[in-house]
Amino acid sequence: MDKIGLGVAATFTAEPLGDALRFWLAELDIEGGVGFAPYDQVFPSLLDPGSVLGRAGAVAVLVRAEDLHGKPNGDAQGGTGELDAVATDLAAALRTSARASGTPHVLVVCPPSPEHGSPEAHARLAAGLVREFEGDRTVSVLTSAEPYEPAPEAVHDAFADRTGNVPYTERYFAALAAAVVRRLHAMTTPRPKVVAVDCDGTLWDGVVGEDGPGGVVIGPQRLEIWRELARQVAAGRLLCLCSKNEEEDVREVFARHPELPVGLDDVAALRIGWEAKSRALRSLAAELGLGLDSFVFLDDSPVECAEVRAGCPEALTLRLPADAAGAADFLRHCWPLDLTGVTEADRERTRRYQEERRREQARNEMSLADFFAALDLRVTITPAGPEHEGRAAQLAERTNQFNLSGTRLPDGGEKFVVDVRDRFGDYGIVGLTGVRVGGDTLRVGAFLLSCRALGRGVEHRMLAHLGALARERGLARVALAFRPTERNQPARDFLATLPATVDPDGEAAAWYVLDAGAAAAVVHSPVPVEERAAGPAEITGATPAAVPAGWASVERIATRLTGADAILDAMRATRTVTEVAGASPVEAAVMRMWAELLDVAPASVGDGFFQLGGHSLRLVQFMARVRAEFGVELPFDTLYTTSFTVAEVAKVIEERQLADTGDEELAGLLDELAGLSDEEIDALLDSGNG
């Protein structure tokens, strides 16, 4: 059985999405094909683990309010109560499917048809489902195909909808496919934590060192770039400036423009000077305590981008178009900057990094021991509840440096969250543990702490809590699961200080086992790591850190695949049409359409539609194209024959065009001919033959 990368279910005929979805899977180098659930079987497909959706790596569900007539709770176009009930049932089915499969689900509430749909019902269904899944990390709701949405007149295809329940045009299906894959990309791909930006030619037009702080220009399009950066900051991304300038000049530009949506108070750190930007970025990463693989760097200079790509290959370096409008459009289509699953901890991230800077200043003014004594650290450890689900999942996904087992969110067992604050501010929930009881041992499968709280003794209090918990339950030992990775050296350093024995478990994992009383008595000693006594031998077998997606693919998507027409052009560029000598213009047009629709392109006017892989759905699509391009409707009885070849269908199109010519038009032509002399008619015929 072929691997299914993406499973699709819809309340209408959605197979026209297939080509565009496969195009995007290939563009992103994702393995697996696209599978479609049976027509209008959304609920059964979601609830059956053996369905196409249950076997897929990701799921897309597309619904229209008008199609939900007769679903579990009645008529979606009836009263608002019935519509709300349908939304509730649909939400429950989506949650069941997402939790059973463990795969991301995207739900698209598609636009109603102009003939039969109700805009009010559509709006109510969309709003209800958005509320249902607000903050959900496994199900995401789309209510439009933005930013790929074509003009309103290019959305619906009444003829194809009436003929085969294919409600949308080829352009809109291409837009839907792009929006769905983009949202799945945001749900499944690690998001950057830092956006570092250049200044000259990026944040403003002009060179501040030459034009002066008052001479640079921030026009409407540049302002769009600032607004995008403000959205990134509001969602918890750290904003850094990395520019070759005099720092005083850059600060003066900010001072002259207090109306900008981003101020220096929103900047987590800056490197303004004349060193290589790759060195500046590495310095920023060290200051923030983050890996370069969590950085996106934006610059308009191809030379600077090349230097950073060579010096900091872990970072995602993107070259913005030089013109302001192009740069703003680039950011709108820059997939790595998409926002999803934003938590309160995200929104507070910049403030917390600024508080950390104040802690660092205080630390430099006193001894390490005095600093920790004055820190007034308060650590609260409580059982994880439903309200912690989003933050716990985010911690498990993002924490790499102090993550003992390298695990993601553990299934089952008990989970505890760790809330920390000190005299400088509130860190929020920064730690997570997951435990099970095995015999006389409390087995800790997850033990992780955000790097922003690392090295203050929080990890020691977490272990002491687990030791006390084990003693309360009459257990003799606490065992910490450890699996080395490229990034979790701080976790290894912590384990090296513990009075633990090592119990190997597999090629790259081990259990660090402590007496419950010893674990409960662990305390923090503010001594540099290199001065601590050596602990158990280090276990090898680390896995390499992930490197961000290639910049070339990101730039191609952000500059060339920004609309439905561009996507369709890129799809068609992969297909070739054989030029046949002597083919009429209509025959050539039919061959082009078939090459774009069918698995095998026609090579002659005698090739047949069904012999080339055509089927009823492709037939409806072809008929819709003929109607749009030639203004005629093809009869079914002509098409469902063995003689349905390029030549035959071209002949039918020409006959239909002639038959559809109105009597008035014919009369007008005859009148025009009657007014011509024989010589003029002969000349007209000669020009036509030529």
420 and 496 assigned to the same domain: yes
Tokens 């929930």 — which residue?
429
Tokens of 266: 């929103």
- When divided into structural domains, the chain yields a total of 4
Q: What is the pLDDT, as a whole number, of residue 354?
A: 60
Tokens 């496994």 — which residue?
138
176 and 209 assigned to the same domain: no
pLDDT tens digits for range 355-412: 666 666 666 666 656 656 666 788 999 999 988 888 888 888 778 778 998 776 666 7
Q: What is the pLDDT, as a whole number, of residue 662?
A: 56
pLDDT lower than 70: segments of the chain:
1-3, 69-81, 341-375, 408-411, 424, 506-508, 526-549, 574-578, 599, 615-617, 636-643, 660-678, 680-690
Task: Give the count of beta carbons closer than 10 Å to the beta carbon of residue 675.
Answer: 8
- Single out the residue in 500, 516, 531 at which a domain terminates: 531
- Single out the residue in 462, 496, 531 at which a domain terminates: 531
- Amino acid letter at 397? E
Structural domain boundaries, residue 36: 4-188
241 assigned to some structural domain: yes
3-state secondary structure 364-429: HCCCHHHHHHHCCCEEEEEECCHHHHHHHHHHHHHCCCCECCCCCCCCCCEEEEEEEEECCEEEEE
136 assigned to some structural domain: yes
- Single out the residue in 188, 208, 237 at which a domain terminates: 188
- Apex 130 CA angle, 128 and 134, nearest 5: 125
Task: Give the count of beta carbons closer than 10 Å to the beta carbon of residue 165.
Answer: 17
Put the strands of the sheet holding 59-63 in their side by side order. 33-36, 4-10, 59-63, 105-109, 139-142
DSSP H/E element including 433: strand 425-438
Q: What is the pLDDT, as a whole number, of residue 117?
A: 79
507 and 386 assigned to the same domain: yes
Q: What are phi and psi of 322, to 5 degrees?
A: -70, -35
563 assigned to some structural domain: no
Q: What are phi and psi of 592, to 5 degrees?
A: -65, -45
264 and 310 assigned to the same domain: yes
Separation CA 635–CA 633 (nearest Å):
6
Give the C-alpha distances (Å, rounded to integers) separating 9 from 41, 44, 227.
7, 10, 36
618 and 510 assigned to the same domain: no
Secondary structure of residue 650 in the 3-state scheme: helix
Q: What is the pLDDT, as a whole number, of residue 274?
A: 87
Q: What is the pLDDT, as a whole number, of residue 534?
A: 34
Q: Taking Cα atoms as reference points, which of 176, 144, 556 lies closest to residue 333? A: 556
Q: Is the dihedral of CA 484, 487, 488, 492 positive or negative?
A: positive
588 and 606 assigned to the same domain: yes
- Apex 338 CA angle, 488 and 196, nearest 5: 65
DSSP string, 69-128: TTBTTB-TTS-HHHHHHHHHHHHHHHHHHHHHH---EEEEEPPPPTTT--HHHHHHHHHH
Dihedral, CA of residue 524, residue 530, residue 531 and residue 535, to nearest 10: 70
Give the C-alpha distances (Å, rounded to integers) separating 630 from 158, 332, 623, 633.
16, 36, 10, 9
Tokens of 434: 């997951």
562 assigned to some structural domain: no
Tokens of 683: 């000349």
* Residues written for the chain: 690
336 and 382 assigned to the same domain: no
Residues in Cβ contact with 28 at an 8 Å cutoff, skipping those fewer than 6 apart = 181, 185, 553
175 and 244 assigned to the same domain: no
181 and 198 assigned to the same domain: no
8 and 154 assigned to the same domain: yes
Task: Give the count of beta carbons closer than 10 Å to the beta carbon of residue 437.
Answer: 13
Secondary structure of residue 270 in the 3-state scheme: strand
403 and 427 assigned to the same domain: yes
Residues in Cβ contact with 526 at an 8 Å cutoff, skipping those fewer than 6 apart = 368, 369, 371, 372, 457
Strand partners, 481: 511
Separation CA 305–CA 319 (nearest Å):
6
334 and 467 assigned to the same domain: no
CATH number, domain at 16? 3.40.50.1110
Separation CA 69–CA 64 (nearest Å):
10
Dihedral, CA of residue 257, residue 262, residue 265 and residue 266, to nearest 10: -170
Tokens of 227: 């607004």
Put the strands of the sheet holding 316-319 in their side by side order. 267-272, 238-243, 194-197, 295-299, 316-319
Residue 595 and residue 602 in contact, taking contact as beta carbons nearer than 8 Å? yes
Secondary structure of residue 38 in the 3-state scheme: coil
518 assigned to some structural domain: yes
